Amino acid sequence: MFSNAQSCWFIRKVICWRAAASIAWAVLLLPPSTVIFVILSKFSLLHPIQTLSECFSLLTSASIIFSFILLCGVIIMVGFLNFEYYTVIPTIACSKIALFGQLLHPRQLINSLVHCIMGVIVAWCSAVTIGFRYETLGYPCAQNNGYPQMCLNEYHLILLMAGAFVGFSHSLLGVIHNMNYVSFHTVQQYKYLRFKGSLPLVVKCSATQALYSVRNYIVVYYFLGYIPRAWICKTLNLHLDSSAHPLDSIAGLLDLSLLYHIWISATFLLFTWYMTLLLFRIFLTEGYSFPVQSSFTEDVDHCLPKVLTEKQPMILKYLALQDLALLSQHSPSRRCEVFSLSQPGGHPHNWNAISKECLSLLADLTQRLVAYHETVATNGRAKSLSSGSERKISSETSGTEDLMSPRPTLLMKTPASVFARSIAGGQQSPLTAPFTPDLDSPFASPALRRLASPVEQGLPWYGTVQSPHIMRRAPKLWTTSTDSHVNGSPPPSPASVPSDKQEPSKPSFLAQFLQNRKEQVLKPCLTLPEASSQALFADSQAHIWALEGLSCLVQASFSEDQFGVIQTTLPSILSCMLVLQEAVDRHFKLPHASSKPVRSTSSMGDSTYKTLRFALRATLKTAIYRITTTFGDHLNAVQLSADHRKRLQQFLEYKE
């Protein structure tokens, strides 16, 4: 964990200033946005000169100045919420139930309430700016008895409720589309160029989302508009004008002028909020250059090798990895500091710390991929590899055990006889307990249940040797890394593996039908395979930078490494990359893993996390090719296992 001093140093000197700068620029851009809104809300094709004069007089009035102060407060609050809720690793719900739980989280409910209040404030400022029939909530009216009374101005009310509805919708869509996710651009640009290039998208998203929100709001107000109207009248002691037509009707809601003003107000609200969000993303993801080494002891914690090893905050780790990727490609002088030796002692501390952290990140991703593949295979949703194509993870990771921590766990083969004996005995051995599938799960296949069913002693084939043809028909749902005799357990007996013909009882047609219907109903609610694959690679941007940094440093070491510090860890780097590539290739063979999602262009939610797995696969292959094309046949002298050497030869021959 980060120490308090280190955390305060980075948050205080970098992140807080960047967030404050983004808010300041959003406030500075508010006056031209307000001027455009005033012109669009009052513009008339028949009287353009009169409209411009009215707009000029309105912009200098006291009401507009007060409204501008309120809008500045809203912008500052939106910027604070962006700073409070941002993340560099998106939160991906792997099921609809999980997404529903995120929407009902108490913190999210408070966020939605705050956005509703801010939406009402912006809507009130818009109503005052538009004027005419939207200016006040109440107006004097005469009833049948002739006495003047204060009546409710429903046009003002419907505009305020529209602001609350748009704010609430924006809060919910922020969770659904991960608008608090901050991604890093591949190409580094100046802040002005990024803002200029993204401004048309902000305008488009604001207008489109406002149109959808107004459509939904009109439907909701048509059915439930009488509730806030009656509550406001009762609370503020206002009356309904009998001569005015109610707006919660088809005739009242088909007023084109009303619909236009609601839409332009919602667009102005979303534009100011999206612009604040865009500026925050631009300032936060700006590159930060960390020193590679320092002559002063108090500045050691600020150097790149030390910062890379820290875990929190994640924005610091991401900026450090981004700086490492840029350093390895574009800064020869800083690369020399990475390759340098410590004095006195002559140890490559900088390279050891950087390479160890990068290899640890890659090993962690490999471990997660292997565990995910084994989980899918155990649940019977993926076809296992044949015995001829099974790999030995223990031999693959032997070359990287000195630098990768923690090491990927070895995958044990769990034969069917183990399940049969453990169930029959009423206990599970410690070896097979973590791998025993959940037979009560709605996604457990019938073949898996038959495989794990106990063998009855009364059956005629109990204790006898079966035909090898029946043995080959048994489903094999578990991949192996080592054979069972390597783990110390005897090979499974053929008599303990039941076949389809040996099934003691077959479920009825009704039971099978109900089970199938249960899976069809619950599976879409309980699991989303594509979302689980996206969540697995949610933090892959860090691994992409680690791959780029390692491969570019290894490539540069061919001509710049005077002391040969990288040559000692080259086998570990190649082994780690090859193991990761095999795990990624296996993952892309699973269903839904290779399907590319459609990118939405009508939302400010950053969807780049949905394609991170494809970017990682391309970066990994590029990193290996970068090393092989640089060293060429010299890699034949590197100590690698037979499997790794065979796979590396494919890259040397450009066959991958």
d(CA 543, CA 362): 6
CB 584, CB 508: distance < 8 Å? no
d(CA 620, CA 581): 7
What size, in residues, is the chain?
656
d(CA 174, CA 196): 23
Q: Give residue 413's pLDDT.
A: 37
* Largest distance between two CA atoms of the chain: 105
Handedness of CA 217, 220, 225, 228 (dihedral sign): negative
d(CA 576, CA 535): 22
Question: How many angstroms separate the Cα of 143 from the Cα of each of 139, 148, 235, 253, 576?
Answer: 13, 7, 20, 25, 83
Query: Residue type for 447, please?
Result: A
| DSSP three-state, residue 412 | strand
Q: List the single range of 553-567, 600-614, 633-647 with lowest mean pLDDT.
A: 600-614
Residue 253 has pLDDT above 90, yes or no: no
- Which residues make Cβ contacts (< 8 Å) with residue 416, sequence separation at least 6? 451, 452, 474, 492, 496, 497, 498
Where do the DSSP E strands lie in 297-442?
none
Instruction: Give the chain's radius of gyration (CA, Å).
Output: 32
d(CA 580, CA 582): 5
Q: Give the Cβ contact number of residue 500 at 10 Å.
A: 12
- Nearest to 308, CA basis, from 325, 293, 320: 320
**HSE-up (13 A, CA, CB side) for residue 336:** 3
Q: How large is the average pLDDT for residues 568-572?
A: 90
Q: Give the Cβ contact number of residue 641 at 10 Å.
A: 17
Q: List the single range of 119-123, 254-258, 531-535 with lowest mean pLDDT.
A: 531-535
d(CA 439, CA 625): 44
Strand partners, 149: 141
- Nearest to 362, CA basis, from 107, 220, 544: 544
Q: How large is the average pLDDT for residues 409-420?
A: 36
At residue 214 the predicted structure's pLDDT band, cuts being 50, 70 and 90, is: very high
d(CA 548, CA 644): 20
d(CA 523, CA 517): 10
d(CA 249, CA 247): 5
Residue 638 has pLDDT above 80, yes or no: yes
- Which residues make Cβ contacts (< 8 Å) with residue 652, sequence separation at least 6? 628, 632, 633, 635
Most confident of 133-147, 247-261, 287-301, 397-411: 247-261
In terms of Cβ atoms closer than 10 Å to its own Cβ (0-12, 13-18, 19+), residue 278 is buried
Rounded to 10°, the helix 106-130/30-42 angle is 60
At residue 173 the predicted structure's pLDDT band, cuts being 50, 70 and 90, is: very high
Q: Pairing between strand 138-142 and 148-152?
A: antiparallel
Q: Report the chain's mean pLDDT, rounded to a whole number.
A: 79
Residue with tokens 């991703």: 365
Q: Give residue 640's pLDDT.
A: 87
Q: Give residue 423's pLDDT.
A: 38
205 compared with 511, residue with greater pLDDT: 205
Residue 408 has pLDDT above 70, yes or no: no
- Nearest to 355, CA basis, from 288, 287, 308: 308
CB 381, CB 443: distance < 8 Å? yes
d(CA 88, CA 481): 34
Strand partners, 140: 150
52 compared with 428, residue with greater pLDDT: 52
Residue 258 has pLDDT above 90, yes or no: yes
Q: pLDDT tens digits for 573-626?
A: 999 999 999 999 999 988 777 777 766 666 787 888 888 999 999 999 999 999
CB 351, CB 554: distance < 8 Å? no
- Which residues make Cβ contacts (< 8 Å) with residue 606, sequence separation at least 6? 178, 179, 181, 182, 183, 281
- Nearest to 173, CA basis, from 607, 635, 647, 636: 607
